[in-house]
Amino acid sequence: MANAGKTAFIFGVTGQDGALVAAELLRQGWTVHGGSRRGHVSKLWRLEELGILDKVNLVNVNLLEPFQIVEALTSLRPDHIYHFAAESFVADSFHQPHSVIATNVVGTLNVLETMRIAAPGAKLFFASSAEVFGVPPATGFLDETSALQPINPYGVSKLAAQNLVKVYRERYGIHAASGIMFNHESPLRARNFVTRKISYNLARLKLAGGPPMSLGALDAARDWGAAADYARAIPLTLNLDAAEDFVFATGRKTSVKQFFEYAATAAGYDPVFEGHGVAETCRDRKTGQALAAVSEKYFRPFDTQPLVGNPARLKERTGFAGSRDAAAVAEEMVAADLKRRKDGAIHV
């Protein structure tokens, strides 16, 4: 294979993006090593589900322990480095800002410093976030030239790390690219994200019954893409002669209610919403089964306004065909959760 003999190291390989990129690289013939903190055995389910657990060499690495990073990169000498390890739940960043800043900023600095000293010839992909933008523009879509004004600690941490990547690229000549990632989903999402909460509970309701799920603001909206599609595009950014930053987005906005409707339809329901605001509920038109109800408990006091990105540069530079839409993502996630529940795998 064309990539035989090439080695990649993935920080955060047990997460959604790390696991999907690992699977893509293995398919292309790469040797893949992945950083995984000792004691996080419960997170190996993604690699197991993808059938690659025995193909990825797991290395004990903590982003806040720079000597572990030095040891890993010095001994393995990877050609490509992918940095997905982060505290990634936006709402939590208000409750534990110190942890978020330390992991996302200092952790990224540790990776960059190690590359500068021990692996200057490697190429780095850093996963940033659309939260660096903070607010949508008055007109049009967000792209690589848009103003950066984050409004939560998570966005601040990602912007600081993204700026560090730029500094090391320009000051030290490191081939380091940032992907400004808009929301992207897959069956490998954790259940504390609303999309997976929806697909998981629809499978529960379909096969086991029980009370309806509780959701927050149904009019909250995101630019939701397919994580597996972005995982195929990410390695393409490191094949370019010069490193640059790219927006990963679909250019389409989808509300929580719309995503729920897509998912419920995929589960075989005919969803009907009734009421307004905190009194809004959803039932199945055919059977009357209660599917969802709004709960103030899940309202975010500092939620981000809907952000929609323009992936034109990514498509032009890499030939990326674009992501599937939210309806296709919802269908994929529901199918996976129905299968898991039928197979008895209900704790992932």
Express each pLDDT in 275-301 by its tens digit.
998 999 999 999 999 999 999 888 876
* Structural domain boundaries, residue 317: 7-186+225-251+307-323
The answer to whether residues 84 and 182 belong to one domain is: yes
* pLDDT beyond 60 at 41: no
Round to whole Å and give the CA distance between 102 and 157: 8
175-202 per-position pLDDT tens digit: 999 999 999 999 999 999 999 999 999 9
The answer to whether residues 282 and 260 belong to one domain is: yes
Would you say 70 and 40 are in contact if contact means Cβ atoms under 8 Å apart?
no
Answer whether residue 328 is part of any domain: no
What is the count of structural domains for the chain? Answer: 2
Answer whether residue 1 is part of any domain: no
CATH of the domain at 163: 3.40.50.720
CATH of the domain at 203: 3.90.25.10
Answer whether residue 115 is part of any domain: yes
The answer to whether residues 92 and 178 belong to one domain is: yes
User: Averaged over 147-160, what is the pLDDT?
Assistant: 95
Would you say 305 and 149 are in contact if contact means Cβ atoms under 8 Å apart?
no
* pLDDT beyond 90 at 35: yes
User: Averaged over 61-87, what is the pLDDT?
Assistant: 95
- Non-local CB neighbours of 159 within 8 Å, separated by 6+ positions: 128, 132, 148, 150
Round to whole Å and give the CA distance between 260 and 266: 10
Burial of 182 (0-12, 13-18, 19+ CB in 10 A): buried
Answer whether residue 198 is part of any domain: yes
Tell me the HSE value of 259 on the side-chain side, using a 13 A CA sphere: 34
93-128 per-position pLDDT tens digit: 788 889 999 999 999 999 999 999 999 999 999 999
b/e 145-163 (16+ beta carbons within 10 angstroms → b): ebeeebbbbbbbbbbbbbb
Dihedral, 134, 135, 137, 141 alpha carbons, nearest 10: 60
The answer to whether residues 50 and 153 belong to one domain is: yes
Answer whether residue 347 is part of any domain: no
Q: Give me the percent of the chain exceeding a pLDDT of 90.
A: 88
pTM: 0.96
* pLDDT beyond 70 at 328: yes
